[in-house]
Chain A
């Protein structure tokens, strides 16, 4: 009897370990190889193939200005994406949850379809849109920091990323707003709020966990995004950390895998730290988001 219980407890763990082991080994390899000349499996080796060869030289990229440019760009991209997605989703989610207007149902199903649409199929069409935006004076390519909203600007990449992230954000926010009681909103209206004040003063504080979760999710998405900046920024090595990484992989021959691992870890670190502190909010996406039925 006791043995049975022990076995039934152990089996799930064994299965989990079995499936997560490859991923964990991957992380361990990255960590080891960033500090070694070469690796043989998980063993750090020197250039003669003997155990040892520890070095810090793989981190020398930190002293080049390029890495700091792309890090700054990535930060701007992630922040821009987060702010844009959160603001639009908070408003759209409220409207879709609370206000009856013609085309509401159609809009909801349309955003759901857009969410399912693979980004890659839109790349060429968006390219033309960005080229056209670039022709608009000032807005196109003359804004400080983000460059503008046209082709080959950071702003353009942010704009496209926001558009692709929005369906998820809107549905998520709608789900959270649906959970807030109507009575509270009515009380606010009777107490003397305008509709906007109700939204700002009374509704938004109730969905703080949802806003936090969407912010974190969007930030991480922006930080790691590759295909959009890679496509719409001409000089990929000066765009974001992800494209910089890709550049290392394709341009230097033979590829220095240890250095690649270092840059990868450099990109990963902020996300890992972020995850550790914010995972409880991220979990609420799955708790609150699933209830967002029309």
Chain B
């Protein structure tokens, strides 16, 4: 099912939680709503579900306006962070409840519940109560309950946030595979960028109720169109500098501090001719130790992260984070030479915070 949101707005009294969101979701697409907590992503989801009524704007399912449809007439399934299972019902009753409400025959309920339970790997737990299940098993029941009525749209509200880290990774893969196999259009709300980047076909980044970007994970990571996205996406976060762009002999240079002069390659020339201060961003993985071409600095801090060591250096007044192989055994106060891969640099306007490269 195709989903279109047009100028979707939600106000709670004087507070605007969601402001004029426009986006379209293709049939079978997996879209993530990503943003910090309280940004309005769950509010948007609940409007799509029909729990909240939009203050302004429209929601279309396959071209039909559904603004005033109650949730039960929208043909949707939803999975909640808190699982929201019915604690007084058994797993079987939880799974078959949507069918019971559709007045389906008992035999069909039994067959369908068993089929879904087997698919979710909880076939042997049908007689248990939710309270007797682990968090992961409860989340599977919740997923099964959302799937059993074969909805045309699946909604996820941070479904993995209450699970432990290992389980989260395996469930991530399972949900993605399930979604692709069944081909159900899905919206997945999360504040965890890794979940969004790994699972979604497209990501809608929302901040303060406003849609910041709506694009695929690769674009979002490599071509952030606002400073907020550049800071928010990527782990460890992007290094940001206040720089002055100077032009010398037809070439542009940026000076992040300590008298450094970094040549800006043609591919990264700011679109607008900017003179004066801008924000320069460069990701930790694009900073390398280079004993020939690098500039001199000292290791300020070493944070071992297992596969990599996260090194902190100072350039001017700014902390620079980057990753090195632990085999190098860098220690505090070691002298090193650093090189920025300027082919991967980003530039943003200081005031509007918009990218000077994209969009």
Contact = CB atoms under 8 A, between A and B. Distances in A.
Contacts of B142: 187
Contacts of B74: 190
A49 interface: no
A26 interface: no
B98 A191 contact: yes
Given A186-B51, A205-B88, A206-B88, A192 B101 contact: yes
B51 A183 contact: no
Contacts of B77: 190
Interface of A is mostly: helix
Interface in A145-200: 181, 183-184, 186-194, 197
A188 B49 CA distance: 12
Contact of A191 (B46, B51, B97): B97
A192 B70 CA distance: 9
A205 B88 CA distance: 7
B101 A202 contact: no
Interface residues of A, number: 16
B186 to A, nearest CB: 14
B15 to A, nearest CB: 15
A149 B53 CA distance: 43
* Most A CB within 10 A of own CB, among B80, B82, B84: B84
A190 B82 contact: no
A187 B78 contact: yes
A181 B86 CA distance: 11
Contacts of B71: 186, 189-190
Contact of A189 (B51, B85, B87): B51
Nearest to A192: B101
B246 interface: no
B102 A192 contact: yes
A266 B101 CA distance: 49
Interface string B61-78: 000000000111010111
B83 to A, nearest CB: 8
Interface in A186-239: 186-194, 197, 202, 205-206
Nearest to B76: A190
Interface in B100-131: 101-102
B82 A189 contact: no
Contacts of A181: 82, 84
15 contacts: A181-B82, A183-B81, A183-B82, A184-B84, A184-B86, A186-B80, A187-B85, A187-B142, A189-B71, A190-B50, A190-B51, A190-B71, A191-B97, A191-B145, A194-B72
